[in-house]
Structure 1
Amino acid sequence: MLGNTIALLVYLFIISFFGFLGYRHTKTSTDYLLGGRQIHPMIMALSYGATFISTSAIVGFGGAAGTLGMGLLWLTFLNILLGIFIAFVVFGKRTRRMGYSLDAHTFPELLGNRFDSKFIQGFAGVVIFLFMPIYTAAVLKGGTDFIQTHFGISYEISLLFFAAVVALYVWMGGLKGVMYTDAFQGGIMFLGMIFLIIYTYSKLGGVTSAHDQLTHLFDNPDVQEQTAGLVKGGFAGWTSMPKTGSPTWWSLITTIIMGVGIGVLAQPPLVVRFMTVKSNRELNRAVVSGGIFILVTTGVAYIIGPLSNLFFFEETGSIATIAAGGNDKIIPMFIKNYVPGWFGVIFFLALVAAAMSTLSSQFHAMGTAVGRDVYEKAMNKKGNTILITKTGILVAILISVTLAYLANQLDTSMQIIATGTAMFFGLCAASFLPAYISALFIRTISKEAIIAGMVTGFVVGIFWIFFIHEKEASSLQLCMALFNKTSLVKETGLAKLAMVDPIVVALPSSVIATTIGALVKKCTLSQQHLDKCFKA
């Protein structure tokens, strides 16, 4: 315990130093919001990766993999293909160039300035501020679960301590402080995950032996009894994909893989990273390092989760989700019980780093949404933007902490962290992705078409979340309160729709609405404005 405390104090000292360094180098709004547009490519790549990969990925989705199997590795593939290669090469360069030309400091401001619309900027800012706390709460819960398990202290104390530390350096240092600490934390995450995969495979006799053991574990009569409920839902073993068309298959493919894999392209904190570098060359240099980082951090988590069943079953006679006490507890309990004590300290820091790096960016995004996008631009109010932004950060933290506290009161068998993350990613895709793609690549599309697509995607997504998709609707309870059922389509001829994730319906709806809007209303932006937007 003394070693843990010393390591934690050293870690906190280092991130405090980076937060102070960011504070010392933050003189203007551009410094606070965009790091002065002079961030080194390696810092940007590590910050992007560390922001992308949080405790949601390691604890939440790693725990989901411990229950659903290695099919989650398809999410790693999609993360690298879309979240790194397409995002950096196709989206990143145009985003950086357009953001600089339009003097955009946030993702909503990029869209608002591109289409000369305060409504677009304000609407995007409100969506971010009101709904990003769902994702933030999921990340907070992941980090808090690990702190609680590792130190044996209460969930409430762990949550308050964790949130307070992140809040301090985000509030002080702006985006520079966030990105400096992100890069440091990303390095810890990368090294920690490398050791974890090597250690786990070595304990199981190598890669082939480990996977053979995991495949045959599903044939054990005791395991079959414990997984009977999962099998009924379509589960077919930890090294196999679920039965096509089953509830588990729909959850894995549409909610987790599609929701997060596609939604990453429209994540406001990640888009902003493209506007922090000074040239396209920096983005090119960041692709390889970013791809390797995502491969290691997510790939390891989605392999360790399923393999943990071998360790738990051998010692306790129960599969991971039962032995650990819930999906979100699988990774924390595995680290506590089955890896060397000295590595537990390192991995504890890696998990804290993963959560802090993402939380800092989320809090920063929510604060800027209030200060820059809604207050200063959409409402056209004059005042100290940085002060309003910092106030927004504090409010966002309070909301997120409250949601994280309430999430801990829910059924432990639920994949709370993974579900909360996927829900926000999917909502971002439905609300922002068609608008973002149109802004970058379609020169003459009208702002009315963009508004139609954004509003339609958001409304359909929210309706599906609260009233159709049973996984979320049953937890949020609004459908039950109004209609006395967990889903409007339950016990009807459309009951299978209750398994379909919102992104499958909301994103196409947004695309259709955008297309119709473009056909009905022609672009009225001046040629001079368009030339500025698409300046070479």
Structure 2
Amino acid sequence: MFLKILMMLAFFAVTAYIGFYSRKHATNVNDFVLGGRNVGPWMSAFAYGTSYFSAVVFVGYAGQFGWNFGMSVVWVGIGNAVIGSLLAWVILGRRTRVMTKHLDSATMPDFFGKRYDSKSFRIVVSALIFIFLVPYSASVYRGLSELFSMAFGIDVIYAVVGMAILTGIYVVLGGYMAVALNDLVQGIIMVVSLIAVIAVVLNSQGGLMNAVVQLSKFESPAAP
């Protein structure tokens, strides 16, 4: 438990440090909202991936659907990654960046408002983003708080409040650059941890097929 707490404190310290570090570079609105448009492709990819696939992958797909329905849900994850993520970036990524820079817009509501010369449209887009981000953010916080509760024995409420405070600190201090840097660090941790978990499971169970056979022996709560 001591090692877990030490690792958690180290993670919190790194997260807060990134916020203070990024504060020096956020000298105007453009720096704060867009990171000065200097966030590279790898950092952008990690920022998107860790935000979009964090609790969804580890708690939603693996913990809920994977446990209940087995290997068949892998296709759901592949479809989500290819259609919902990769295809969107291929079709819209570069076009959106070029247009937002051309219109000098810092946010998507600002982009739509300038693109269609409509203040009402900008308000509608802002409202839609706000409304749909509420349940999304709630699900992410709930998933991560459950993991913290399971790993450290912390009450879910305290875990949610702690994560909200920590997130608020580095976002307010450093803006998007702080978010992107923290997502890069968290993404690396997620990738390394995922590879380690897969390696340990396969090694302990004697390969993929044996691991699948052993998992199939557990009774699923969703089974009829």
Q: TM-score, normalised by structure 2?
A: 0.92
Q: CA offsets per residue over residues 221-280 of structure 1, 9 Å max, x none?
A: xx4xx75x633xxxxxxxxxxxxxxxxxxxxxxxxxxxxxxxxxxxxxxxxxxxxxxxxx
Q: What corresponds to 1:163 in structure 2?
A: 164
How far, CA to CA, are the matches of 1:51 and 1:157 in structure 2? Answer: 21
Q: Is the 8 A contact 2:23 2:175 kept in 1?
A: yes
How far, CA to CA, are the matches of 1:99 and 1:4 in structure 2? Answer: 43
Q: What corresponds to 2:195 in structure 1?
A: 194
The answer to which structure, 1 or 2, has the higher relative contact order (CA under 8 A, 6+ apart) is 2
Q: Select the residue among 197, 220, 230 that pairs with 2:223.
A: 230
Q: CA offsets per residue over residues 56-89 of structure 1, 9 Å max, x none?
A: 3211222222112222212322233224432222
Report the CA distance between 1:26 and its aligned residue: 0.2
- Residue 105 of structure 2 aligns to a residue in which SS? coil
Report the CA distance between 1:170 and its aligned residue: 1.0
Report the CA distance between 1:186 and its aligned residue: 0.7
Q: Does 1:212 align with 2:205?
A: no
Q: Is the 8 A contact 2:23 2:174 kept in 1?
A: yes
How far, CA to CA, are the matches of 2:151 and 2:213 in structure 1? Answer: 31
Q: What corresponds to 1:52 in structure 2?
A: 52
Q: What corresponds to 1:16 in structure 2?
A: 16
How far, CA to CA, are the matches of 1:75 and 1:108 in structure 2? Answer: 30
Which amino acid letter does the alignment assign opposite residue 82 of structure 1?
A: I
How far, CA to CA, are the matches of 2:158 and 2:85 in structure 1? Answer: 36
Q: What corresponds to 2:90 in structure 1?
A: 89
Which amino acid letter does the alignment assign opposite residue 23 of structure 1?
A: R
Report the CA distance between 1:119 and its aligned residue: 1.3
How far, CA to CA, are the matches of 2:22 and 2:73 in structure 1? Answer: 36
How far, CA to CA, are the matches of 1:36 and 1:18 in structure 2? Answer: 16
Q: What corresponds to 2:105 in structure 1?
A: 104
Q: What corresponds to 2:7 in structure 1?
A: 7
Q: CA offsets per residue over residues 304-362 of structure 1, 9 Å max, x none?
A: xxxxxxxxxxxxxxxxxxxxxxxxxxxxxxxxxxxxxxxxxxxxxxxxxxxxxxxxxxx
Q: Percent identity?
A: 30
Q: What corresponds to 1:29 in structure 2?
A: 29
Which amino acid letter does the alignment assign opposite residue 165 of structure 2?
A: A
Q: Is the 8 A contact 2:47 2:184 kept in 1?
A: yes
Q: TM-score, normalised by structure 1?
A: 0.40
Q: Does 1:141 align with 2:134?
A: no
Between the two proteins, the alignment pairs up a number of residues equal to 223
Report the CA distance between 1:165 and its aligned residue: 1.1
How far, CA to CA, are the matches of 1:153 and 1:50 in structure 2? Answer: 23
Would you identify which runs of 4 or more consecutive aligned residues in structure 1 move more than 4 Å? none
How far, CA to CA, are the matches of 1:113 and 1:128 in structure 2? Answer: 17
- Residue 121 of structure 1 aligns to a residue in which SS? helix
Q: Is the 8 A contact 2:22 2:175 kept in 1?
A: yes
Which amino acid letter does the alignment assign opposite residue 230 of structure 1?
A: A
Q: CA offsets per residue over residues 388-437 of structure 1, 9 Å max, x none?
A: xxxxxxxxxxxxxxxxxxxxxxxxxxxxxxxxxxxxxxxxxxxxxxxxxx
Provide closer, same or farther for how the CA distance between residues 12 and 112 of structure 1 changes in structure 2, counting only shifts above 3 A.
same
- Residue 9 of structure 1 aligns to a residue in which SS? helix
Provide closer, same or farther for how the CA distance between residues 212 and 3 of structure 1 changes in structure 2, counting only shifts above 3 A.
closer
- Residue 223 of structure 2 aligns to a residue in which SS? helix
How far, CA to CA, are the matches of 1:109 and 1:78 in structure 2? Answer: 31
Q: What corresponds to 2:186 in structure 1?
A: 185
How far, CA to CA, are the matches of 2:213 and 2:2 in structure 1? Answer: 39
Matches within 5 A, 1:343-358: none
How far, CA to CA, are the matches of 1:128 and 1:80 in structure 2? Answer: 21
Q: CA offsets per residue over residues 440-465 of structure 1, 9 Å max, x none?
A: xxxxxxxxxxxxxxxxxxxxxxxxxx
Q: Is the 8 A contact 2:61 2:77 kept in 1?
A: no
Unpaired runs of 5+ in structure 2? none
Q: What corresponds to 1:124 in structure 2?
A: 125
How far, CA to CA, are the matches of 2:181 and 2:190 in structure 1? Answer: 15
- Residue 153 of structure 1 aligns to a residue in which SS? coil
- Residue 74 of structure 1 aligns to a residue in which SS? helix
Q: What corresponds to 2:73 in structure 1?
A: 72
Q: What corresponds to 1:430 in structure 2?
A: none
How far, CA to CA, are the matches of 2:215 and 2:192 in structure 1? Answer: 25
How far, CA to CA, are the matches of 2:158 and 2:150 in structure 1? Answer: 12
Which amino acid letter does the alignment assign opposite residue 128 of structure 2?
A: V
Report the CA distance between 1:153 and its aligned residue: 2.5
Which amino acid letter does the alignment assign opposite residue 71 of structure 2?
A: M
Q: What corresponds to 1:393 in structure 2?
A: none
Which amino acid letter does the alignment assign opposite residue 78 of structure 1?
A: G
Report the CA distance between 1:162 and its aligned residue: 1.9
- Residue 105 of structure 1 aligns to a residue in which SS? coil
Which amino acid letter does the alignment assign opposite residue 113 of structure 1?
A: K
Unpaired runs of 5+ in structure 1? 232-536
Q: CA offsets per residue over residues 354-394 of structure 1, 9 Å max, x none?
A: xxxxxxxxxxxxxxxxxxxxxxxxxxxxxxxxxxxxxxxxx
- Residue 185 of structure 2 aligns to a residue in which SS? helix
